[in-house]
């Protein structure tokens, strides 16, 4: 722009910058045990791999930040700490020289798989005096849903694994399609994403799994507790909304199914299918529920989807997704064709991949929450209360688990 002679050019006026009004919650100190659980909660069973992937060859996993070696012997899976106490070499680099044992590759220290007792130090001969003086830590194991589960505690006896599984999976015939995938991001972000009330309507609106399904814009939801689970109960579903000064917004399109007239709590958007008798018998208050140590349950009319968020360390986790139909016999054949043909790719792939993306890039706290985040607050409170009850129970048994760091 030219300036007439004798006049000074003036810079264009700019609106002064303002500090953002988003201080929010700076930490999770309201829930000290939850805040301290970056590497997960101890005292629970976790699925760590498929049963078919544990053989007579030692395999290392990491669970709650601990290196563990898995080995199958005479059909049973065993788990020991993956560090030889002699010089710290991983036992998973070793081999099985005698039945029922594992031997370190360095000097042949040989441990009993069941008890962890040092049975031989091969390079010190049969009468080595170190034998009987060293015991390697072991971990209880179990196999359910085609997976190996490992219990990590603080010295307490492991409870029966069936006490921790979702109740409907214990006594009912079921068929499972599952996916186990290492993922970046803290396990708490994954669990909070799974139970989050707001994200599915927006983030997943582009998922192929929901291409033809109606999607509400927002819901009126409350959280109720029944036993060890907390449930999201949908009271109202709003399929379009007029935002003041902006305009109307909707998730609907001409090719989508029409929204249901009644509010649904079996399946998040209702459906015309008859509810499976096993699912109907559970009388779930809401279609989405979560329990410790990070288990999500999403109930649909004909199947239930579970997600187990398994802490590897504070920066990564295992995503374990399991889609379960309660059927048996010849009726299982269509399930395999459907799951392997497209559901695994659409649901446990592209749809779940959107969640993986968000978990990887989440950076909280600090955080500024909004109304739908009541579900996250209730989950954190459940975790805090359950952990405190466990700590009190262990103290009563003379076990003193490490607690959260003291407040500054």
| Strand (E) or helix (H) holding 313 | strand 304-313
| Strand (E) or helix (H) holding 304 | strand 304-313
Torsion, CA 371, CA 373, CA 374, CA 376, rounded to 10:
-170
Q: What is the pLDDT of residues 192-208, one digit of tens each?
A: 999 999 998 898 888 88
pLDDT of 269 above 80: no
pLDDT (0 to 100) of residue 1: 46
Whether the CB-CB separation of 54 and 147 falls below 8 Å is answered with no
Residues with Cβ < 8 Å from 160, sequence gap 6 or more?
none
Number of other CB atoms surrounding residue 9 within 10 Å: 7
Of 110, 40, 105, 52, nearest in space to 80 by CA: 110
Q: Is the pTM of this model over 0.85?
A: yes
Pairing of strands 247-250, 240-243: antiparallel
% helix, strand, coil for the chain, step of 5:
25, 30, 45
Which structure tokens are listed for 187?
């396990």
Compute the average pLDDT of residues 114-141. Answer: 97
Identify the band that residue 405 occupies on the pLDDT scale cut at 50, 70 and 90: low
d(CA 109, CA 105): 8
Q: What is the pLDDT of residues 59-99, one digit of tens each?
A: 999 999 999 999 999 999 999 999 999 999 999 999 999 99
Query: What percentage of the chain exceeds 70 in pLDDT?
Result: 92
Convert 195-206 to b/e letters by CB count within 10 Å (16 or more is b). bbbbebbebbee
Compute the average pLDDT of residues 335-360. Answer: 89
What's the burial of 400, exposed, middle or buried (CB within 10 Å: 0-12/13-18/19+)?
A: exposed
Identify the band that residue 265 occupies on the pLDDT scale cut at 50, 70 and 90: confident
In the β-sheet with 118-121, what is the strand arrangement from edge to edge? 101-103, 109-112, 118-121
pLDDT (0 to 100) of residue 106: 98
Least confident of 115-124, 251-260, 386-395: 251-260
pLDDT (0 to 100) of residue 74: 96
Phi, psi (rounded to 5 degrees) for 255 = -90, 0
């Amino acid at each position: 722009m030219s300036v007439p002679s004798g006049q000074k050019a003036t810079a264009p006026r700019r609106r002064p910058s303002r500090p953002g009004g988003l201080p929010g919650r700076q930490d999770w100190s309201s829930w000290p045990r939850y805040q301290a659980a970056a590497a997960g909660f101890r005292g629970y069973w976790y699925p760590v791999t498929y049963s078919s992937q544990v053989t007579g060859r030692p395999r290392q996993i990491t669970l709650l930040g601990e290196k563990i070696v898995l080995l199958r012997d005479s059909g049973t899976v065993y788990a020991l700490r993956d560090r030889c106490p002699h010089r710290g070499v991983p036992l998973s680099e070793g081999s099985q020289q005698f039945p029922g044992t594992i031997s370190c590759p360095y000097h042949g220290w040989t441990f009993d798989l069941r008890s962890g007792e040092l049975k031989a130090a091969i390079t010190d001969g049969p009468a080595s005096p170190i034998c009987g003086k060293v015991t390697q830590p072991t971990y209880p194991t179990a196999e359910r849903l085609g997976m190996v589960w490992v219990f990590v505690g603080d010295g307490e006896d492991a409870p029966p694994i069936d006490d921790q599984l979702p109740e409907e999976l214990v006594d009912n015939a079921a068929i499972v399609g599952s996916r186990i995938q290492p993922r970046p991001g803290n396990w708490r972000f994954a669990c909070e994403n799974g139970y989050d009330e707001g994200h599915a309507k927006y983030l997943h609106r582009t998922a192929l799994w929901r291409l033809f399904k109606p999607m509400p814009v927002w819901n009126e939801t409350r959280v109720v507790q029944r036993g060890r689970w907390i449930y999201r109960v949908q009271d109202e579903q709003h399929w379009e909304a007029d935002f003041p000064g902006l305009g109307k917004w909707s998730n609907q399109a001409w090719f989508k199914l029409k929204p249901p007239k009644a509010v649904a709590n079996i399946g998040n958007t209702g459906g015309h299918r008859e509810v499976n008798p096993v699912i109907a018998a559970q009388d779930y208050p809401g279609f989405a529920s979560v329990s410790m140590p990070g288990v999500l349950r999403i109930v649909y009319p004909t199947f239930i989807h579970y997600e187990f968020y398994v802490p590897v360390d504070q920066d990564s986790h295992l995503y374990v997704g399991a889609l379960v139909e309660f059927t048996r016999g010849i009726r299982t054949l269509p399930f395999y064709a459907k799951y392997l043909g497209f559901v695994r790719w659409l649901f446990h792939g592209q749809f779940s991949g959107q969640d993986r993306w968000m978990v990887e890039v989440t950076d909280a706290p600090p955080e500024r929450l909004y109304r739908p985040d009541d579900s996250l607050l209730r989950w954190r409170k459940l975790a805090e209360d359950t952990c405190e009850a466990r700590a009190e129970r262990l103290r009563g048994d003379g076990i003193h688990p490490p607690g959260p760091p003291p407040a500054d």
